[in-house]
Amino acid sequence: MSGVGGGAASSTARPASPSPVIGGQSDAERELLARVPTGLLIAGEWRDSSTGRRLEVLDPSTEQVLLSIADATVDDGDAALAAAHAAQRDWGRTAPRERAEILRRAFEAVTARADDFALLMTLEMGKPLAESRGEVAYGAEFLRWFSEETARISGRFATAPDGRSRLMVTKRPVGPSLFITPWNFPLAMATRKIAPAIAAGCTMVLKPAAQTPLTALLFAQVLQEAGLPAGVLNVVPTSTAGAVTAPLIADSRLRKLSFTGSTEVGRRLIAAAADQVLRVSMELGGNAPLLVFEDADLDRAVEGALLAKFRNNGEACTAANRILVHESVAPEFTARLVERMREFTLARGTEPGTRIGPLVDAATRDKVAELVAEAEAEGAAVAIGGRARDGAGFYYEPTVLTGVPAGARILREEIFGPVAPVQTFADEAEAIALANDTEFGLVAYAFTRDLNRGLRLAEELEVGMFGLNTGIVSNPAAPFGGVKQSGLGREGGFEGIDEYLETRYIGIADPYA
């Protein structure tokens, strides 16, 4: 799961407030929040919702309200799609270089305002400021990458094998697209959908997660300033996601759906998209194994595990959900892992030195606590952590579990929190069997000095991405996506732009006939 569709939203609908800024923050935080758009972006204009209802966005570290923003209705969603549909013809005919320059200017603007974006993500999502800064760099790179790919969209021309005709193949934009993005990476999940769509010449409706819509609104403002024409991107945050998006998916004007979130919600969206035979891209759940073999460099393996497990508070579809360690090195590996985690600081993400911030909402924290409690009841031991923190904020202690029994729910479901269950294996065959024992197939990690083993794992593990001796694989220049029930399609890399292009074949009569 990547954050959409799981648990209760930490936001509520309420009447319009005289002032959008409600919670008490530092002067720098208040100044930033005062510059964030609080309306819906439809046809190039910032507007209130059709009913005037508001959506409150919480700070997960204090449970105070950051901002009250416009809460889109079904009518607002329809208006957004109408704007995208109206803009599609002209936008699809815009010169590739012009689209590329908009993306390049957006990259430069996001980079120049990195501190703003980082602070805003920390405020609404909870991740440490250092993590947010990393996401700004990662998210901005999609803008630069696809700005460079825009002018490289190409086709081909050939003589038919029988010589009687000529074959021309061209690429054209898919058309108006609906993007449903999760809360865990508010900027990067938007840029890795929006950037290739702009490059391909598609118009868009973006429905950001209700927990973290502020970053998307600020990014949309940056795109406006970079010269994106009215109607090309429309943004409709809402507390009633299903009600707003269902009519759009059923609308013949929509031609593409891209979703990042839980497999459960993804299945429903795929089924709904079938009626219109929409092009779909689905980045769904993960249950990533991290394998540590007996010949691994344990220092590197521990560092990789800390990165793969605890990046983004553990709230990532790529997080190492199951740490599988060879039985001969498991005690030493676990001891080193726990010792490093004793250095972790659990605090508000804006505090210097914070390694783990609050989880995004109460439902996410409570699920983590439930999974740990169930594992303990079934015989697992807590090596460190294992408790929710009392007081304000949705905090859960960084945790290591050992002796987790096979079949435990914590090994089958995404944890989406800072909890590392450690299992052992006896040999390579058992490690592969354990790693593949899941319906998910997004990513896997392995640490070994044996190159041949690494190559075998790359072929045997049932995943779309594989990190060998590294705890991070995400890169804008690489195709991101999974197999099995982890999704369809790829984002990033040369493959990312193809998700927004249709192939057209034109047969031409023999010019010599």
What is the set of active-site residues? Answer: 283
Task: Say how far apart CA 175 and CA 181 lie, in whole Å.
Answer: 19
Q: Read out DSSP for 213-263?
A: -HHHHHHHHHHHHTTPPTTTEEE---S-HHHHHHHHHT-TT--EEEEES-H
Task: Say how far apart CA 140 and CA 288 lie, in whole Å.
Answer: 26
Strands (E), 373-418: 381-384, 399-402
CA distances from 328 to 395, 451, 457, 463 (A): 34, 20, 20, 26
CA-wise closest residue to 396 among 427, 378, 424, 417: 417
Q: Read out DSSP for 308-321?
A: HHHGGGG-STTSEE
Work out the end-to-end distance of the chain between its first and last CA atoms, rounded to an integer number of angstroms.
58
Contact 193, 144 (CB under 8 A): no
Question: What amino acid is encoded at 338 in this protein?
Answer: V
Contact 371, 416 (CB under 8 A): no
Task: Say how far apart CA 53 and CA 70 lie, in whole Å.
Answer: 6
What angle separates helix 214-225 from helix 96-112, to the nearest 10 degrees?
A: 130
Neighbours of 272 (CB within 10 A): 18
Contact 328, 468 (CB under 8 A): no
Torsional sign, CA 94, 96, 101, 102: positive
Strands (E), 247-395: 256-260, 279-283, 288-292, 320-326, 381-384
Tally of CA atoms within 13 A in the half-sphere of 18 that contains its CB: 0
